[in-house]
Amino acid sequence: MFTPSLTAVPNATPLLHPASSKRTYLTQLILTGILLGSFLSGCAAHKQQAQPEDQATEPSLNDTATAGTTTAATQAESAAIEPKPKPASFSQEELLELLSAEFAGQRQQFERARDGYLAAAERTGNPQIAARAAQVSQYMGSYPQAIQAARIWLAAEPDNPEVHWQLAQLYMSQRLFLNALEHLSVLQDLTGDSHYELLASTASLGAESDRKKLLDALSQRLVTTPNNPSLWTAAGILEQSLGNNTSALNHYNQALTLAPDSLPAAVFKARMLASGADKRAALTWVDQVLVQHPDHKGMEVLRARLLLNTDQTEAARQAFDDLHQSYPGDHTILLSLGLIEFELELNQDSYNHLLSLLETGAHQPQALYYLGQLSERLGKPDQALSYYAQVEDSREFMPAHLNAAALLAEQQGIQSAVDYLTALRQSHPDKHNELMVLEASLLTDYGHFQDALDRYTRLIDDNPNDAKVIYYRALVAERMNNLPLMEQDLERVIELQPDNADALNALGYTLVDRLHRIEDALPLLKRALVLRPNSPAIIDSLGWAYFKLGDYQQAEPLLQRAFTIVADHEIAAHYGELLWVTGAQQQAREVWRAGLQDHANSAIIRATLQRLKVEMDAE
């Protein structure tokens, strides 16, 4: 059976690439089995290549790891495409030209090699030279020349499935999906093999207009070829990419009706279900797929993650442990196992697995970051600091070094933490601003408000339109009781980001609670609530504004709703006061008690009780 290579699919690794490979050009040619001697002697080596097993997606504790359409290539094996060996004879001039092109390639004169082979292919029409010209052109990323060479090859061997597959790949790489479809159709006629899923997977990442055109073309083929499960699956992939999940599911089901053991249809259906809201339905389907394909690694990994997403954390841990035993060399599975154990507070098991991962050199930032957290849990702050300090560029960089600075501040004082972050800024100038924000945040936490304000001001001087930093400075200004600066900064944030609900709420609440300008605050708080209708903080702010206006009828449902969402001590202070002044004094006490459970030393509740002269233990 003819099984194609995937080397020309976008995002796939090309057979050859001068910019990324450290091998010599000649060595690469030897490894591909396509040497000049193959053309001269008519002997071409054929080498099978196995497609790597499905790899688990990089996990995090909240990673669903199931969304999106992925290429069907992970389900296939691939073979290196080479021209069929045929005896060839060349004139002395042609032979010299071919040798010149070959030696140019060995000297990494790639353009000369490409042009030489292409010129020879155009003159001779020889399919082997044309195939060689196509390969060298593709190697260089010269896709128009690769297509030109492949078409010369096609003219010489119109019934050769390899040239149709090569052209299909090249057209896919150029997003000429309808052209690719034509060659895949011929390939099916010649070999009986369908590869429409790969075409649809590639197209699903392209422009919406291209996806719709390809879907229309596939739908037309389904009218005349309704019994092809590959066509139904491909149409389902495109429907899913367009957000038509019901149609996609119907297409996958039709493919499975025609071919119950169709792995591509089963896998794409599983991934689509897993990306939806009903994770348990997805899990049920994945279990069914694994009955037919018990050794499918991708489905095993998906099942483990679905267990995690359905809060079956212990079962997920066992599933990942089983996967680790089956695939001990898969570092992503090992990371997943360590993170689940971290979540379950199986601290020593998690530590051991993440330490093993660290020793492999894979997923270093994640391993170091969580080893640091585990060391803190295990009461080893110095070891934790060592792990955090090693985290380099990654999404874990900032939280790791913030944790390190916090440890230093706790153990050695705030100046030690500031010195640490200052040194880090010097060694990572590309992260200067982010680290300065961390430094200012830590100074704020330790009550060094003026130092924090000075750092934010320096950042704003360098970038006066950085809304995030301006917002942070406003919060510090409020802590310093510098309300004019706070108001100025929040107004600037809203000017830069009119839909910034946090800034709208912060300014609105300050106008109500600190500046007593309630009429100015109302439109800001109403806008914030439209932007974030379920935010308890915003609901509370608007309710408090109505309370301050004496409009208890509008205030009560808002404050009650905010308190129902979260029994925060500040919300409890406001809601309790409204209940008290409207006569529901016992209920007010219950609300305040709930707020004190949330925050036992709540200054706002204590101040409210003192102002209202309330004794909490009074009946």
pLDDT at 309 over 60: yes
Three-state secondary structure call for residue 79: strand
H/E element holding 127? helix 127-140
Q: Which residue has the tokens 């699919």?
A: 9
Lowest mean pLDDT among 26-30, 32-36, 356-360, 397-401: 26-30
Rounded Cα distance, 519 and 508, in Å:
10
Confidence band of 364 (pLDDT split at 50, 70, 90): very high
Three-state secondary structure call for residue 617: coil
What pLDDT score does 123 carry? 83
pLDDT tens, position by position, 167-176: 999 999 999 9
- CA-CA distance, 376 to 371, in Å (whole number)? 9
Contact present, 55 and 178 (Cβ < 8 Å):
no
The set of long-range contacts for 467-475, using a CB threshold of 8 Å and a minimum separation of 24, is 467/492, 467/493, 467/496, 467/497, 467/500, 467/503, 468/437, 469/433, 469/437, 470/496, 471/500, 471/502, 471/503, 471/506, 472/437, 472/440, 472/441, 474/503, 474/506, 475/444, 475/506
Higher pLDDT, residue 493 or 77: 493
- pLDDT confidence of 214, banded at 50, 70, 90? very high
Give tens-digit pLDDT for 331-361.
999 999 999 999 999 999 999 999 999 999 9
Q: Which residue do the tokens 């060349």 mark?
A: 90
For 78-121, write each residue's pLDDT tens digit: 333 344 444 455 565 666 666 666 666 566 666 777 777 788 88
Judging by DSSP bridges, how do beta strands 78-79 and 48-49 pair with one another?
Answer: antiparallel
Scored b (16 or more CB within 10 A) or e, 320-350 reads bbebbeebeebbbbbbbbbbbbbeeebeebb
Of 358 and 50, the structure prediction assigns the larger pLDDT to: 358
Q: Render pLDDT for 232-247 as a digit per residue (tens, 0 to 9).
A: 999 999 999 999 999 9
User: For position 484, what pLDDT does the model report?
Assistant: 96
Separation of alpha carbons 207 and 205, rounded Å: 7
Q: Read off the pTM.
A: 0.71
Please give the residue that has the higher pLDDT: either 65 or 287. 287
How far is C-alpha 423 from the geometric centre of its chain's CA atoms?
A: 31
> Which segments within 30-92 are labelled E, that is strand?
48-49, 78-79
Beta-carbon contacts of residue 444 (< 8 Å; ≥ 6 apart): 452, 475, 476, 479
CB 70 within 8 A of CB 314: no
pLDDT of 120 reads 81
Give the model's pLDDT for residue 96.
61
Q: Can you read off the two tokens belonging to residue 583?
A: 């006569």
Task: Give per-residue pLDDT as tens, 455-501.
Answer: 999 999 999 999 999 999 999 999 999 999 999 999 999 999 999 99
What's the rounded mean pLDDT across residues 523-529?
Answer: 97
Q: Report residue 299 as tokens.
A: 């489905």
Instruction: Provide the pLDDT for residue 325.
Output: 96
pLDDT at 509 > cutoff 80: yes
Most confident of 14-23, 301-310, 598-607: 301-310
Alpha helices for 174-243 (secondary structure H): 177-191, 196-203, 208-224, 229-241
- What is the average pLDDT value for the chain, to the nearest integer? 84
**Which among 393, 391, 469, 396 has a CA at the least distance from the CA of 433?**
469
Largest CA distance in the chain: 112
pLDDT at 194 over 90: no
Distance CA 561, CA 533 (A): 11
**Position 43 confidence tier, pLDDT thresholds 50, 70, 90:** very low
